[in-house]
Amino acid sequence: MLEIVKKIFKSRLFRLIFSAVLIYFAFKKVDVIQLFKEIRNVPIWFVLVNILLSFFLVALISLRWSLLFFPKIKLKTIWTFTRANFLANFYALFFSTALVGEVAKWIVIDNKYPKIAKTKILGSVLLDRFIGFSVLMLIGFVSLIIGQGRGLVIPDYIFYLFIILTVACVLAYVVIYFFDITKILPKFTFLHKFDVAFDVLKGKNKKQIIKCLLVSVLSEFCWLWQVWFVGWKFGLNINFLSILVFVPIIAVILLLPISVGGFGAREQLYLFFFSQAGSSNESILLMSAFLGILGVANSLFGGVLLFFDEKTRKKIKN
């Protein structure tokens, strides 16, 4: 019985239905037709600025990832890693698991740099994700402390969750910087096959990790500023501190595979957190819907790149 329940909750159909239900309850109290008219009437300059900013953010994330391989980066290198991330975003849009997207990233890098061990690529993907996540946790945790002092209502369980996650991230960096993890982990026999993956944690690469952290700080603040910018355009009565507090919380919750592409869950979370700042439901949903559409457009660009990349397409299919 338990296995059946697990299969239901993990199924794409359940997530589609759940997303539809969440979207219905989020939009039922607003004039949906008027809402989409507002989105359709958004100035072209605003759309283009956000598209370019989204592409810039993908390029920054790609720069961070590539720094784990190369101390000096060329534009061609950044473009290769950027293309890999766009393809990953495209596949993640249509599949219930992000694993397909990670496979797409691995294939692109493996095609371009066949001398890099496949397990090292795997290790770099995991470390890159951790760096991005840890910086977001740190920003969120510091902002939560400041936000509580400014009177923002934050549930205690979320505050404690961020304490645990932030401490865990800090401890991970302590292990990386003060211990030779390449000598500790391989002692576990089942990890021997991944010895090469630990190369990204060796002493010579620790300076690269610092560079990755700096790039990640820049990318996270640019992303958070974009959210504030979109909210400002749609009339949200929120300051940047509210964005720094609530968006990391929403991002962490959306890591749970409870809806398709975050649709429905994102709208409900935006309403729950940003309504306390005095913004109207219409403005909050306009911001959320626009950011969702922007994310889909960003992912679909990966499909355009894939259309002209027959070699990668065949490998992923196989």
CB 90 within 8 A of CB 306: yes
**pLDDT bracket for residue 190 (50, 70, 90):** very low
**pLDDT bracket for residue 185 (50, 70, 90):** low
Two tokens, residue 129: 């994700």
Kindly give the interhelix angle for 265-274 and 240-253, rounded to the nearest 10 degrees: 140
Two tokens, residue 196: 């090469």
CB 18 within 8 A of CB 259: yes
**Across the chain, where does the E strand assignment appear?**
none
pLDDT at 118 over 60: yes
Q: Where are the domains of the chain?
A: 44-317
Looking at residue 142, its pLDDT comes to 92
**pLDDT bracket for residue 184 (50, 70, 90):** low
Mean pLDDT over each residue of the chain, to the nearest integer: 81
Query: Does residue 13 or residue 241 have the better pLDDT?
Result: 241
Contacts within 8 Å (CB) and 24+ apart, 30-39? 30/281, 30/282, 30/285, 31/282, 34/282, 35/282, 35/285, 35/286, 35/289, 36/289, 38/234, 38/282, 38/286, 39/286, 39/289, 39/290, 39/293
Q: What is the mean pLDDT of residues 296-301?
A: 88
Looking at residue 52, its pLDDT comes to 94
Most confident of the ranges 61-65, 87-91, 174-178? 61-65
CB 237 within 8 A of CB 279: yes
pLDDT in tens, 139-173: 999 999 998 888 888 888 888 999 999 999 999 88
pLDDT at 201 over 70: no
CB 110 within 8 A of CB 87: no
**pLDDT bracket for residue 28 (50, 70, 90):** confident
pLDDT at 194 over 90: no
